[in-house]
Amino acid sequence: MFLRIPFALALSAFIFAQAQQNPGPLKNEQPKPAAAQAPPTQTPASTPGPAPARASAAPADLQQKPIKVQVNEVIVPVTVTDEKNKFVSNLDANDFRVFDEGREQKLHFFSREHSQPVVVGFLIDLSNATRLHWKNYQDAATELVLNLLPGDNPKYSGYLITYGNDAEVSVDTTHDPEMIVDKLRKVKPGGGSALFDAIYLACHKRHVVDGEPYDPRRVIIIIGDGHDTASKKSLDEVLELAQRNLITIYGMSTVAFGFTSEGSKDLARLAEETGGRVEYPLQNLYADVSGYLSRPSDEGNYAYQVGTGAYAAELSNGIFRAVTNIAGEVTTQYILRYTPDTDPKTEGKTFRNIRVAVNLQNVKVRARKGYYPQSLDNR
């Protein structure tokens, strides 16, 4: 278990250092197109989903309406890292090339600003699988909330969805991080896992901030192991929903060292196909430690001496790094927007592939793999 103050100070220092490299928006950042200014609207999907539980009341400026995206403009959050997995944050618009179904597109918006508006959904696994390190992940979720929702800036909003045997919107969209933190302190794990239903709720059953999904953009952070035992929805259904609603998904795996989860591949797929990634804070705890059997002791063959607190410290450090990496990436992404040079009505209603290239050697580029040119209700 780790303390909140070291987390906040360390992460604040990290974001400050990134901001020093990129002071403010670029000159080639253009005003938002009028189409992006309009708040998204949506009619409920025809198939019934899981009934959400009663959620906390949302502020008056967050209007209750289902989410709908009519994709005539495409937003592509992009992360660029070097060989050491460090963020490359000093690129310009002319360093990027975007291809839509193999055809290069013209960008009409580019930003590397660190204060980009965002709506973050925190999806917390309350199944029995999280019991082993529950307190650590409870603290990790709290740190993510406090760092991604400053509280004094209305550009940042978030909501909490918990899932066990059922999924529920525990705290609806709010600018106040304390509402989410207070709920996190009270929940306890137990039961099955309805992850896919939780993603469905994030797409359909919460209050929407005016301007989504362009300004603010949408992010989901799943703290769980990816397994699902109780959902009415399927993986393919909710992945399509996330892609249609232009959501980027991140994951913090709760799979402990030495264990595996059949849901790990599902969590990785959800993240990779929406432009996010998964952190595995407990899988590399012993990377710099000699093997269990190479240092036998009277207490047993343990990688860390029993009673020294070394294991607890390494556990906290692993989760701390995961929190830092996720929060850092959400706040240091490039944002590209373009309008496809084809008419979606004549191109059909199938998934369209995107490829983002950077004019720089030895870097890794991460972005969503594609989008659907029409909203779910117009299929």
Residue-wise pLDDT for 329-348, tens only, equals: 888 899 999 998 766 555 55
Cα 250 to Cα 268: distance, rounded to the nearest angstrom:
9
pTM score, whole prediction: 0.74
pLDDT per residue as tens digits for the range 121-135: 999 999 998 888 888
Q: Strands, E, within 272-321: which ranges?
A: 278-279
pLDDT of 277 over the 90 cut: yes
- Taken in order 320, 325, 326, 330, the sign of the CA dihedral is positive
Q: Quick one: pLDDT band at residue 316, thresholds 50, 70, 90?
A: confident
Q: Are 282 and 257 in contact (CB under 8 A)?
A: yes
**pLDDT score for 294:** 43
Confidence of residue 354 (pLDDT cuts 50, 70, 90): very high
Integer-rounded Cα Rg, in Å, for the chain is 21
Average pLDDT of span 359-378: 80
C-alpha 12/C-alpha 64 separation (Å) is: 33
Mean pLDDT of 211-224: 92
**Tens digit of each residue's pLDDT (9 = 90 or more) over 238-252:** 999 999 999 999 999
Higher-scoring residue by pLDDT: 379, 250: 250
> CB-based burial of residue 147 (10 Å sphere; 0-12 exposed, 13-18 middle, 19+ buried)?
buried
Which band of pLDDT confidence, cut at 50, 70 and 90, is reported for residue 149?
very high
pLDDT greater at residue 342 or residue 153: 153
Which backbone phi and psi does 247 adopt, to 5 degrees? -100, 135
Q: Which of 226-230, 243-247, 314-318 has the lowest mean pLDDT?
A: 314-318
Report percent pLDDT > 90 for the chain: 48
Alpha carbons 274 and 351: distance in angstroms, whole number: 13
CATH class of 4-69+115-330: alpha beta
Cα dihedral 141, 142, 146, 148, rounded to 10, equals 10
The number of helix segments (H) and strand segments (E) in the chain equals: 8, 14
Mean pLDDT, all residues of the chain: 78
261/81: higher pLDDT:
81
**DSSP for 182-239?**
HHHHH----S---HHHHHHHHHHSS-B-TTTTTSSEEEEEEEE----SS-SS-HHHHH
Alpha carbon distance 328, 337 (integer Å): 21
- Region of 19 (left: φ > 0; alpha: ψ -120 to 50; beta: rest) is alpha
The pair of three-digit structure tokens given for residue 259, joined into one six-digit string: 């264990």
Cβ proximity of 320 and 7 under 8 Å: yes
- How do the domains of the chain map onto residue ranges? 4-69+115-330
Q: Which residues contact 3 (CB under 8 A, 6 or more apart)?
A: none
